[in-house]
Structure 1
Amino acid sequence: MSSRDAFENDLCPVNDDLLGAMYRANEHGLPQLIASIAPDVRAMLAMFCYRRSHLHALALSVASSCSERDLVQLGGRVGSTLFALSREARLPHVASSSHGQRKPITLSTRPLTTFAPLDDQVDDDEAALVSA
């Protein structure tokens, strides 16, 4: 079986309604949805979501509630990596929320370029020749 076949035959361990609710849940409602799933199914769900780029954030949230043993048992090195990433993902959110570390953005109030004044004398000379 090729890896493509394995990916295509990979079934979601939870029903579509629950997966959709988890995908749409805000940061406060998601932990309750995750807690309603058995630990072994959570590990399967974390691995399922991790294999789909549009579900990576959900995979990290689900994996953060899993034990390392469950993720490694199910996913081997990938499970171990997912466990580590899920623990690292918690820290940057706290640090990135403080705006004091960023430089403020300033906008220029002057024109970016200046143009030389147009010389209308050339046009006036040509107009005089045409009318003559």
Structure 2
Amino acid sequence: MSSSDAFENDICPIKDDLLGAMYRASEHGLPQLIASVAPDVRAMLALFCYRRSHLHALALAVASSCTERDLIVLGGRVGSTLFALSRNARQPHVRSPHGQRKPITLSTRPLSTYVPLDDLADDEEPALVSA
């Protein structure tokens, strides 16, 4: 399979094991893994990761090692945008998909309560009671 086929068919251009290693790599180990990939495949990998929100940080890290020409040839406007974003990125590679998420808070009381049906006359509609 050629490099362009992988991009057009939206197939990851590297083996799953290497992608997983990059995703889990520390900020300091990631550059060595990226350097082990050919420049044109790196550009395809950056574009592949950019189309997946959970891999955006990895896409920026990979794209920062690509030339603008490679990204534009393979990705057009998206490649150009990715190149610019990768040069402006100030964030380190995020190791965990949960690292950037905001905490979830849950209510400790019911959102609403209803008047019990036993207390209503036959022709009355149930009313919503604010808590």
Runs (4+) of structure 1 exceeding 2 A deviation are: none
Q: Aligned runs of 1:47-58 on 2, under 5 Å?
A: 47-58=47-58
Give the secondary structure class of the aligned counterpart of 1:66.
coil
Which entry has the higher C-alpha Rg, 1 or 2?
1
Structure number with the higher helix fraction is 1
What CA distance in whole angstroms lies between the structure 1 residues aligned with 2:66 and 2:79? 10
How many percent identity over aligned positions?
A: 85
Output one character per residue of 1:72-110: Cα deviation in whole Å (capped at 9) or x when no partner. 0000000000000000004x66xxxxxxxxxxxxxxxxx
2:22 matches 1:22: yes
Q: Secondary structure at the match of 2:11?
A: coil
Tell me if 1:42 matches 2:42.
Answer: yes
Q: What TM-score results when the alignment is normalised by the length of structure 1?
A: 0.62
Residue of structure 1 in register with 2:73 after alignment: 73
Give deviations 1:28-68, integer Å, cap 9, x for gaps.
00000000000000000000000000000000000000000
Q: What stretches of structure 1 of length at least 5 have no aligned partner? A: 1-6, 94-132
1:88 is matched with 88
Amino acid at match of 1:11: I
- Counterpart residue identity of residue 21, structure 1: A
| Structure possessing the higher relative contact order (Cα contacts under 8 Å, 6 or more residues apart) | 2
Indicate the SS of the match to 2:85. Answer: helix
Number of aligned residues: 86
Unaligned runs of 5+ in 2: 1-6, 93-131
Letter in 2 for 1:10: D
Deviation at 1:22, TM superposition (A): 0.1
Residue 10 of structure 1 deviates from its aligned partner by 1.2
The residue type paired with residue 89 of structure 1 is A
Letter aligned with residue 57 of structure 1: A
RMSD: 1.8
Distance 2:85 2:68 in 1: 11
SS at match of 2:49: helix
